[in-house]
């Protein structure tokens, strides 16, 4: 996880924060153009968002022509945003170092051993409030260190009271596993244990883990609800709850499960709420389940200044897959994350790439958790050069050194686009995001 003090600036999808300024020149990146396209899924210029799929039938040729044909090209600039080489930038000045926080010495030693010195903005602002027991609403971009922002003070809370139990609810299996791994990284020698409760893995093993009454339970809403119905999880013993990537959980339709789970927690409780965006539904949740929360927003823009965004036009008469293969043949495409829209499409594309001699793997909802985790691990280690994914991989995952993100199929929403391309250009490094336009 990066601990950089650099502030991000908005791209075409966002607006530059009023507290962040930068000067410099745009870096040069040759636009990938393969001719004039013949259409594609339209971007809705009027609403500023992606058109609903149902609108496709109102244009001739099943959505590939008619009045929507030109909409894509009117808004292509939304996918074209040159990364900025920053010469001068107002840096965030932290109020603390990690050694300044009022936490147990054993935890401080583990933090130092991980190489953490200076907190990121969300960590610097959130940790003191969480340490004093305040409810917190944290709004921050992906990849800004939100996980450590809540784990560090909550580990300290458990060290002070071994009976304390913490529930962490997240939208995806991968994010749950990532948080579990980071928790273990902070707790060597501290005798703090956790259970990860997600779908696609053995529920019986998870039930066995829960019988040991771990201090931390990290899970997805669907599996947590299953465990509650089986009477294998008793939330009345939990005094602290974290909702991470809350906006994504709402997007995925977990609102009712979230309400059921939160309603079973003890009161009063300590509630932490982290999200990249604030919608009306989220505001209702905050009002119903948090007590006079401290609101912390360190969001600096929707897209990173380190991500060079551009389009790939597929000319009439040329296969889209052939254009993709031409790109992947270039040596600079050394660690590539490709996004598709459906599980079937992702699996089909992965097979084609492997048949062409590329080392590719996939992650999507139909894969078991063990297979998804194996695919991620191989990609992170560089054993697999290309990972093809549905939007399950668009949020929360910290995969280092991704050279390119390719939107082989357009995302459903602006937010999905922002989170997809946020998988590259991390930790201050340059990244490239390409969007296919047919």
Residue 53 reports pLDDT greater than 70: no
pLDDT at 2 > cutoff 60: no
**Average pLDDT in the 2-16 region?**
37
Distance CA 193, CA 207 (A): 14
b (16+ CB within 10 A) / e for 150-189: bbbbbbbbbbeeeebbbbbbbbbbbbbbbbbebbeebbee
pLDDT of residue 344: 92
User: Percent of the chain, pLDDT > 90?
Assistant: 48
- CA dist., res. 120 & res. 4, Å (int): 6
- CA 220, CA 159: separation in Å to the nearest integer? 25
Token pair for 237: 């013993």
pLDDT at 304: 60
Question: CATH for 98-297?
Answer: 3.40.50.300
**Contacts of residue 70, Cβ cutoff 8 Å, sequence gap at least 6:** none
Predicted pLDDT at 396: 55
What are the boundaries of each domain within the chain?
A: 25-86+305-437, 98-297
Q: What does each C-alpha distance from 114 to 14, 102, 109, 346 come to in angstroms?
A: 33, 18, 9, 36
Structure tokens at 140: 């921050």
Contact between residue 304 and residue 286 where contact means Cβ atoms under 8 Å apart: no
Question: Which of 380, 171, 178 lies closest to 276 in space, CA to CA?
Answer: 171
Cα gap 360→337, rounded to integer Å: 10
Residues 423-433 have a mean pLDDT of 81
Which tokens in the block code for residue 145?
């260190």
Q: What is the DSSP string of 380-424?
A: HHTS-SEEEE-GGGSSS---TT--EEEESS--SSHHHHHHHHTTS
Higher model confidence: residue 6 or residue 79?
79
| Average of per-residue pLDDT values in the chain | 79
| Local confidence band at 19 (pLDDT 50, 70, 90 cut-offs) | very low
Give the percent of the chain with pLDDT over 70: 75
- Full strand arrangement of the beta sheet holding 360-363: 32-33, 307-313, 431-437, 404-407, 336-339, 386-389, 360-363
Distance CA(259)–CA(265), nearest Å, equals 10
Q: Which of 1-5, 48-52, 166-170, 420-424 has the lowest mean pLDDT?
A: 48-52
Q: What is the pLDDT of residues 405-414, one digit of tens each?
A: 999 998 887 7
Whether pLDDT at 181 is above 80: yes
Q: In terms of CATH architecture, what is 25-86+305-437?
A: 3-Layer(aba) Sandwich (3.40)
Which residue has better confidence, 199 or 276?
199
C-beta separation of 389 from 174 below 8 A? no
pLDDT tens, position by position, 358-415: 999 998 878 887 888 889 889 988 999 999 998 876 665 678 889 999 999 988 877 7
3-state secondary structure of 371: helix
- Which pLDDT score is estimated for 414? 77
pLDDT digits 0-9 by tens, 84-140: 433 333 456 778 899 999 999 999 999 999 989 899 899 999 999 999 999 999 988
pTM of the model: 0.62
What are the pLDDT digits (tens) for 343-357? Answer: 999 999 999 999 999
For residue 431, give Cα distances in angstroms to 90, 115, 145, 303, 385.
Answer: 22, 24, 19, 12, 16
Q: How far is CA 373 from the centre of its chain?
A: 16
Query: 191: how many CB neighbours lie within 10 A of its CB?
Result: 10
Confidence at residue 8, expressed as pLDDT on a 0 to 100 scale: 35
* CA dist., res. 131 & res. 142, Å (int): 23
Instruction: Express each pLDDT in 229-276 by its tens digit.
Output: 999 999 999 999 999 988 888 877 888 899 999 999 988 999 999 987
- Cα 257 to Cα 406: distance, rounded to the nearest angstrom: 33
> Mind giving me the DSSP string for 207-250?
HHHHHT--SEEEE-HHHHHHHHHTT---GGG--EEEE-SHHHHH
Please, which pLDDT band fits residue 59 given cuts at 50, 70 and 90?
very low
**Residue-by-residue DSSP string for 70-105:** THHHHTGGGG-BPPEEEEEE-----S--GGGS---H
Query: Which residue's structure tokens are 């928790």?
Result: 183
Q: Nearest Cα to 305, choosing from 3, 30, 10? A: 10
Q: Tell me if domain 25-86+305-437 and domain 98-297 are identical in fold.
A: yes
**Contact in structure between 138 and 247 (CB atoms under 8 Å):** no
d(CA 11, CA 20): 13
Give mean pLDDT, residues 286-290.
90
Q: Return the HEC string of 310-369.
A: EEEECCCCCCHHHHHHHHHCCCCCCCEEEECCCHHHHHHHHHHHHHCCCCEEEECCCCCH
pLDDT of residue 75: 56
Reported residue count of the chain is: 438
């Amino acid at each position: 996880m990066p601990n950089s003090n650099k502030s991000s600036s908005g791209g075409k999808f966002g607006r530059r924060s009023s507290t962040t300024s930068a000067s410099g020149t745009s870096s040069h990146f040759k636009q990938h153009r393969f001719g004039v396209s013949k259409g594609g899924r339209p971007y809705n210029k009027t609403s500023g968002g992606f058109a609903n799929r149902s609108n496709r039938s109102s244009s001739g040729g099943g959505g590939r022509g008619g009045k929507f044909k030109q909409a894509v090209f009117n808004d292509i600039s939304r996918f074209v945003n040159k990364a900025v080489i920053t010469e001068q930038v107002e840096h965030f000045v932290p109020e603390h170092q990690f050694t300044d926080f009022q936490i147990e010495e054993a935890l401080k030693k583990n933090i130092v051993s991980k190489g953490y010195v200076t907190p990121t903005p969300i960590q610097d602002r959130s940790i003191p409030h969480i340490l004093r027991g305040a409810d917190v609403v944290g709004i921050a971009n992906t990849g800004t260190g939100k996980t450590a922002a809540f784990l560090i003070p909550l580990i300290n809370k458990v060290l002070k009271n071994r009976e304390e139990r913490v529930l962490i609810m997240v939208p995806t299996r991968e994010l749950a596993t990532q948080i579990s791994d980071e928790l273990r990284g902070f707790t060597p020698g501290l005798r703090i244990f956790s259970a990860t409760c997600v779908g696609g893995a053995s529920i019986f093993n998870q039930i066995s883990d829960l019988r040991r009454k771990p201090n931390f339970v990290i899970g997805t809403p669907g599996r947590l609800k299953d465990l509650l119905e089986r009477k294998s999880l008793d939330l009345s013993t939990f005094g602290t709850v974290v909702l991470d990537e809350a906006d994504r959980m709402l997007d995925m339709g977990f609102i009712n499960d979230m309400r059921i789970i939160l309603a079973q927690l003890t009161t009063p409780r300590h509630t932490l709420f982290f999200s990249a965006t604030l919608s009306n539904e989220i505001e209702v949740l905050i009002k119903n389940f948090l007590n006079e929360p401290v609101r912390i927003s360190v969001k600096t823009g929707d897209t990173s200044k380190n991500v060079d965004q551009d389009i790939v036009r597929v000319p009439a008469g040329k296969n889209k897959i052939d254009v993709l293969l031409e790109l992947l043949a270039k040596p600079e495409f050394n660690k590539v994350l490709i996004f598709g829209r459906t599980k079937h499409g992702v699996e089909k594309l992965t097979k084609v790439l492997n048949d062409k001699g590329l080392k590719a793997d996939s992650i999507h909802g139909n894969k078991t958790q063990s297979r998804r985790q194996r695919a991620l691990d191989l990609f992170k280690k560089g054993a697999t050069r290309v990972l093809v994914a549905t939007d399950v991989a668009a949020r929360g995952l910290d995969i280092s050194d991704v050279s390119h993100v390719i939107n082989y199929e357009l995302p459903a929403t602006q937010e999905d686009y922002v989170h997809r391309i946020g998988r590259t250009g991390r930790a201050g490094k340059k990244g490239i995001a390409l969007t296919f336009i047919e």
